Chain A
Amino acid sequence: MPAQTDTLLRYRPWRGTLHGPLWSALAMARVSLRLMFRRRLYWGLFALTLLVFFFFFYGQYLVVWITTQVADDTVPVAGMKVPIKDFTRFLDRLALNGTTHTFGNFIWFEGYVVVIVLALAGSVLVGNDFAHGSLPFYLSKPIGRWHYVLGKCLAIGVFVNLATTVPAVLLWIEAGLLFDWRTYYLDNLDLLAGVLGYGLVLTVTLSLMVVATAVWVRRAVPMVMVWMGAFVLLRMLGGWLADILGDERWRLIDLWNDLYLVGMWCLGADPATLRPQPQPAYWEAGLVVGGVCAGCLLYLRRRVQAVEIVN
């Protein structure tokens, strides 16, 4: 039994300095990420985000190399001489040339995987704490309730940035190396700031949404249904309504499009160059994103404050 003398001798007091609650939030984020990546599914999905990155990375390399090195060369195809640059026409839409739209398009495509991962991860990161009564464990510690939310948001933010901002910054670095690094980096610092801004908007919005929806529905399947509703059904519905009613504001119900618009504003893109057209104004999308964040915060405030630690 633990109370026996030989066992008691093993108990040693601990004396040390305790950190403040922000350190605790970091620990919570680290453990949450470990919980998430303990499942192979998430490694598979993360590999998908890397695939998208490598597609853009090598695509950009290929396009720039062809444009600058062998643009006017031709190869014979069925007896006809076809310019090599025609082979990469299908990549034109992605604008793989280190410009605003390169980064906008990259994050847009990464978004599909990110949304799937977050839909699945919500229950692991947050829902289980509510479903299995883990909250008294966290909240009885010397942290505030918002530190709990911060810790979970940090974990989600790390994943979102690993899938979007970090590779986008790598693409920016690559573009500088492919073009003239002496001028590209200095001339395009605003693009780097835009990428970081886009990442910040995604981090804040998506992490708050994940925590709020996971607190609401808790389980993985309903969570996936809610997220698919928000990011797939509303997207389709927004597109149809905008086309049928001829009012581009209907696209505002497509949250991923709103995030894209705010991100493109951060990147300084000309609204006329966005696809599909017409699009709502940047400020309108910003209002929707801000409203979603505020709604999530209000909901979380109500739900997390209501948790009883001592029954």
Chain B
Amino acid sequence: MTAPLIDLHGITRTFGAHTALHDVTLALPPGRVGVLGPNGAGKSTLLKILMGLIPPSSGTGRVLDQDLGGDRDAAGNWRLRQLIGFMPEADSLVPGLTGIEYVGLAGELYGMPRREAQRRAHEVLSYLELEEARYRRVEEYSTGMKQRAKLAQALVHDPPVLLLDEPTSGLDPAGRDAMLRLIRALGTDHGKSVLLSTHLLADVEAVCERVVILAGGRVRGVGTVAELCSRRQDRYRIRVEGEAAGFRDDLESEGVRVLAETTPGEWRVTVPDGWTNLAFFKLAEINQVVIRALLRDDETLEELFLRTVSS
């Protein structure tokens, strides 16, 4: 049986009087997981605990069967960090080193023998299409190349888990798209579990199967993206033919809220409690319009996030 990617029980972390994480219980199978939350939600604290950089104040947990917690520099935490390839948000390059030296050094810091770290650095840089630039100094790289170099150093020891902190930060649309496809491919084709921490919800939608939404140090939502977004039963997509203005006014007077008009006569709406679909047709008949389509609609991830965080 595959060990869960993350298995946390009542994790709390306090910094003095401030509680950054409050009784977080979370179980996630291996896969691609987006960690979402506004600033101050506790994302960074959660990531630090998952990497073994700080111990939880209380609670227990495991990442791929490796215990969390303990002392900051305990051997268990080193083993935990060997399981994780971390791509920091900050530049975190070492000026003066070439790409190959940078990635090779990362391999050795993860504990790889020198020769194998060098060989693997060549492989990973080739895979990330940096083979032409591998003998150039990293500070001369473009933003996109720097991001890929950072991903390469996280990937060099072939970890089962990649922890990516804002991996598309500063990239142009094409670079961002390429990076997201790459991350997705690492998950789907090479079995890597990915923990993606980002503010860009579109990135999570493009890459992740599951999301964890944090707010105020608590888990506010966890599940697959599809499951969470379809959990609402009050949303419809409706398309009508005929005099739509009167029909819309009547809908709104009955408490239906029009979220967006995608094309004239086609809306995304939320309905009030106790609403039945029959009411749509009654109002259509009154206004002499024909309902051409009535489909249950899902929330977008952005709507889900905003609703979850503000609740």
Residues of chain A touching chain B, judged by Cβ–Cβ distance below 8 Å, are 1-3, 7-8, 10-16, 18-21, 23-24, 27-28, 31, 34-35, 38, 124, 128-129, 132-146, 308-311
Contacts and interface: CB of A to CB of B under 8 A. Distances in A.
B182 interface: yes
A27 B114 contact: yes
A310 B158 contact: no
29 contacts: A1-B129, A3-B182, A3-B185, A11-B123, A11-B190, A14-B120, A16-B116, A20-B111, A21-B111, A27-B108, A31-B97, A31-B101, A31-B105, A35-B97, A124-B96, A132-B93, A137-B88, A137-B93, A137-B94, A140-B51, A140-B53, A140-B81, A142-B80, A142-B82, A309-B86, A310-B44, A310-B165, A311-B90, A311-B165
B66 to A, nearest CB: 11
Interface string B184-199: 1100011000000000
Given A124-B96, A310-B51, A18 B88 contact: no
Given A141-B81, A143-B109, A8 B90 contact: no
A112 B94 CA distance: 29
Interface string B105-134: 110111111101000100110111100000
A185 B77 CA distance: 48
B182 A2 contact: yes
- Interface centre among A14, A21, A31, A308, by most chain B C-beta atoms within 10 angstroms, is A14
Contact of A10 (B73, B108, B113, B123): B123
B3 to A, nearest CB: 18
Given A2-B128, A10-B123, A144-B72, A19 B111 contact: yes
B235 interface: no
Interface of B: 44, 47-48, 51, 53, 72-73, 75, 77-82, 86, 88-97, 101, 105-106, 108-114, 116, 120, 123-124, 126-129, 139, 148, 153, 157-158, 165, 178, 181-182, 184-185, 189-190
Given A28-B105, A144-B73, A10 B91 contact: no
B109 A27 contact: yes
B127 A10 contact: yes
Given A3-B184, A27-B108, A309 B116 contact: no
B109 A24 contact: yes
Contacts of A132: 91, 93-95, 139
Contacts of A20: 75, 78, 111
Given A3-B184, A11-B124, A135-B92, 17 more contacts: A1-B181, A1-B182, A2-B127, A3-B182, A8-B185, A8-B189, A10-B123, A14-B116, A14-B158, A19-B112, A19-B113, A20-B75, A128-B94, A138-B109, A140-B51, A145-B73, A309-B48
